[in-house]
Amino acid sequence: MSGAVLAQGTRLTYASYLELDRVLDAQRPRSRGHDEMMFIVVHQIYELWFKLLLHELTGLQERLEAGDSGPALHTLRRGVAVLQVAVDQMDVMDTLTPAQFAGFRHCLGSASGAQSAQFRELEAVLGARDRTALDHYEEGGPERLSIEAAMNRPSVLDSYLRYLSLQGYPVPPEVLRRNPALPFEATQEVREVLVQVNRDDLVPAQVVEGLLDLDQLLQEWRYRHSKMVQRMIGGRRGTGGTSGADHLRATAATAAFPVLWEVRGA
């Protein structure tokens, strides 16, 4: 319960277990616009999904690096299910018209979705190593430190290659020992291993399918996000000085695991 301790003799309830007094008091609209409440709630829920995804991906990496195929697949399926809900949640945001958004947009000030530290951390866990993403965060601040730490740790793909090594596949030792702070560059030897995984079509290939499900859903989320922004503000600049829908569209097709796509059908 986030470190909270109930007083002796206090009965644990649904509300106290979930700390609903804090959760339901966290929505503070800054305008009188009816639609701002929805905007706040949806974005808060996104942050909760991102938190759960980070938790599940940590568990996935632990299970992969231990060679535990069954638990890894189960954790991966849960992560895919969470991300699918996050994509579907965009349907709610699509009900916001330009006029409704204009009714409270001025209250957002310099706040922007591009500042979501958890989403940046999620990208880093999946393998992104774009250090310019850190520019949105204060030097030495907790958000920046969390993203930097994720960029310096092995990614999900690194953990999967270690898993393949435990399953007997000839992953080159230098790949297993690579500096995880650097962008992943697939070698021909790694491609050949992944081709063999696909041809064998065993449990390691099922893990690949789950990773591609994650990757595809993340691309779909980015695309839906870009179209949602376009519906609300068209081609205008976004809040916080961001470039708005144009930038989001440009990144929508960015793959988390490009090498897994490259070897399909080989």
Per-domain boundaries in the chain: 46-95+114-231+243-262
CA distance 35 to 97: 10
pTM of the model: 0.90
Question: In this structure, which amino acid lies at residue 26?
Answer: A
Question: With 80 as the cut, is the pLDDT of residue 221 above it?
Answer: yes
Please give the annotated binding residues for substrate, written as ranges: 39-43, 105, 239
Helices 188-200 and 203-233, packing angle to 10 deg: 110
Range from 7-11, 71-75, 170-174 carrying the lowest mean pLDDT: 7-11
Binding-site residues: 39-43, 105, 225, 239
Render pLDDT for 14-46 as a digit per residue (tens, 0 to 9): 999 999 999 999 999 999 999 999 999 999 999
pLDDT tens for 146-204 read 999 999 999 999 999 999 999 999 999 999 999 999 999 999 999 999 999 999 999 99
What CATH number labels 46-95+114-231+243-262?
Answer: 1.20.58.480
Report whether 256 contacts 128 (CB < 8 A): yes
**Which residues are documented as binding site for heme?**
225
Please give the Cα distance from 144 to 138 (Å, whole number): 7
Q: What's the confidence (pLDDT) of residue 1? A: 45
- Asked if residue 121 has pLDDT above 90, the reply is yes
Q: What is the pLDDT of residue 233?
A: 86
pLDDT (0 to 100) of residue 241: 52
